[in-house]
């Protein structure tokens, strides 16, 4: 649905994960081996990824001032165990960020790394922890650079596709003005 440019940096991972489910058709890319491989998921790791995806979608909806589409596990609970560490100017340190520890170097840049890197070889159930770590790192980085709140979800109830809002005022409402935006405007016009 989205005709916008992808989100910058690590937010592209989150955008891609949220957009694995097409609400209108019901097609879920996590049901395919190719879709799971894109996120390093084993066949059995899809339920956790789906739960993470829907919690991220709820946050993206909140960024656009829309209510959640359904009851979900809070994102902080899902990412609480994500193994992360980072440094400030080469020293360990941090500020309280729920999934782990988040800090800023003098650059200003964030240095993030998984505390337990995934071993080479076939995917294991721990790969879900790797996905959670990558998501947590992307969130921490985007919080520092001020882009986190611009990752939003389309307000159309049949869409809720994630998009990065590049509008100057940060008030984008639809993933695509030519599809979801046009549909909403047509509904309002017909209602008059």
Distance, CA of 51 to CA of 57 (rounded, Å): 10
E-strand spans in the chain?
84-88, 91-92, 95-97, 100-102, 111-114, 151-153, 162-164
What is the pLDDT at residue 2?
53
Give the least confident one: 33-37, 61-65, 134-138, 185-189: 185-189
CB 157 within 8 A of CB 1: no
Q: What is the CATH number of domain 11-77+124-191?
A: 1.10.3300.10
pTM: predicted TM-score of the whole model, two decimal places: 0.72
Q: Where exactly are the structural domains of the chain?
A: 11-77+124-191
- Rounded CA gap, 51 and 39, in Å? 14
pLDDT(38) > 50: yes
Q: What is the pLDDT of residues 15-24, one digit of tens each?
A: 999 999 998 8
Instruction: Look at residue 160 and tell me whether its pLDDT is greater than 50.
Output: yes
CA-nearest of 108, 143, 124, 101 to 41 is 124
Structure confidence by residue, pLDDT tens digits, 43-57: 777 898 999 999 999
Average pLDDT, stretch 135-155? Answer: 88
């Amino acid at each position: 649905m989205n005709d916008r440019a992808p989100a910058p940096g690590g937010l592209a991972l989150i955008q891609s994960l949220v957009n694995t489910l097409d609400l209108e058709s019901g097609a879920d890319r996590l049901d395919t081996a190719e879709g799971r491989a894109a996120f390093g998921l084993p066949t059995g790791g899809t339920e956790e990824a789906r739960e993470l995806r829907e919690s991220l979608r709820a946050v993206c909806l909140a960024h656009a001032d829309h209510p959640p589409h359904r009851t979900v596990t809070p994102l902080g609970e899902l990412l609480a165990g994500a193994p992360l560490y980072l440094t400030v100017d080469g020293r360990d340190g941090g500020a309280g960020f729920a999934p782990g520890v988040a800090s800023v170097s003098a650059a200003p840049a964030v240095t993030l790394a998984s505390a337990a890197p995934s071993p080479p070889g076939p995917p294991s159930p721990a790969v879900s922890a790797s996905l959670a770590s990558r998501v947590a790192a992307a969130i921490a980085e985007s919080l520092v650079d001020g882009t986190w709140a611009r990752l939003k979800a389309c307000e159309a109830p049949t869409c809720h596709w994630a998009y990065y809002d590049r509008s100057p005022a940060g008030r984008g409402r639809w993933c695509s003005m030519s599809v979801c935006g046009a549909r909403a405007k047509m509904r309002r016009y017909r209602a008059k």
